[in-house]
Amino acid sequence: MKINIVLPSFPIQMTGGFKIIFEYANALAANGHDIALYFVIQLPHDRPHRPTIYLNLKSLWLKKRRPSWFTLDSSIRTQSILRLNKNSIRDADALLCTNCLVALELKNLPPCKGTTFNLIQGYEDWILPQNDLLNESFRTAAHNIVIADYLVPLVENVTKKRPHVLYNAYHPEQFHITTPIAGRQPHRVAMLWHEMPKKGCNYGIEALRICRERFPDLEVELFGIYSNPNFDERWIHYTQQPDNLCALYNSVAIFLTPSLNEGWGLTATEAMACGCVLVCTDTDGLRVFAHEGKTALLAPPADAEALANRLCELLENDTLRRQIAQSGSEYIQRFTWKRAVTQLEQILKNRN
């Protein structure tokens, strides 16, 4: 198949949503499909609004640039375009987009650009607070694909058509147990550090500080794409863009995900595959794999005290930590890229 993939802007830094799309692009290319990636620089309703001359220069500067943080298959064509229209992308069999702003522009394209598929990776009200526009983004594609069950009724109520469900995935060959669960230092915790408020990292840090008061030997490994956030505490260690995430996950016993709103939780699944027990907030996207008392311990969002209490349950009960870590590691093995890519191919092939 000839497949166009259309994305918002150009990702200078790594984000989970772009990473998922790039993984699919590579896998589809490896399976013999002809893939073209387009990055749209100017999208209506986007914020902040930039002068036209700035956007023109940006699109020219980025025109043939490829993401530096992800290695795309050499056969994949990449192009930054100023606007999404019939003249800016090639004819194709299928067109896959992600992001509500891009989805709104699909109505301007003729059928020859490909049967349209909207991959919805979260309820993007932080991008489009206007519910009427967000709902309209569900109507523009011929087919909607959602990554978690909670999105099904939200889309179906608007479109009167059930979307495809395509769970996100991880690479078992990249993320797996190398340090036995039982042999880990039980008072070591890891967390992704992110500056977006919806990630809830300030609540996570506060929860860890509460735990440190009860367990003075607590050690924390933070990682992220940002420069060092300069925490004063010596027991908090930060790594910017770690070279070996599998080794980092295997060096700790617990992984904390304090998100206020989460479409999926990619690092949580990676950590679980590596044998970490997951402590996370009870949010929609995480419930796909975070089951209370079985594969994870859950707490309400925006409640540092509750998060700290769940962490302390594990810090004082290593038997519980080992049991849930083992169960979580086994459960997460159903979410592999081989399964996800096979399912996506079937969705794209059955496009009529």
C-alpha span between 327 and 320 (Å, rounded): 11
pLDDT at 57 over 70: yes
pLDDT at 230 over 90: no
DSSP-H helix ranges across 140-184: 151-159
Domains of the chain: total = 2
pLDDT at 111 over 80: yes
Q: Are residues 95 and 10 in the same domain?
A: yes
Q: Which residue has the higher pLDDT, 138 or 42?
A: 138
Q: Are residues 89 and 137 in the same domain?
A: yes
State the DSSP code for 284: G
Burial 124-138 (b: 16+ CB within 10 A, else e): beebbeeeeebbbbb
Q: What integer is the mean pLDDT of 186-210?
A: 96
C-alpha span between 117 and 310 (Å, rounded): 40
Q: Are residues 344 and 276 in the same domain?
A: no
Q: Are residues 308 and 186 in the same domain?
A: yes
Q: Is the dihedral of CA 211, 212, 213, 215 positive or negative?
A: positive
Torsion angle, CA of 230/232/233/236, rounded to 10 degrees? Answer: 0
Which of 54, 55, 27, 61 lies closest to 42, judged by CA? 55
Q: Tell me, what's the pLDDT at 46? A: 77
Q: Are residues 322 and 343 in the same domain?
A: no
pLDDT in tens, 273-321: 999 999 999 999 999 999 999 999 999 999 999 999 999 999 999 999 9
Strand bridging mode 219-224 / 94-98: unpaired
Q: Which domain holds residue 212?
A: 181-332
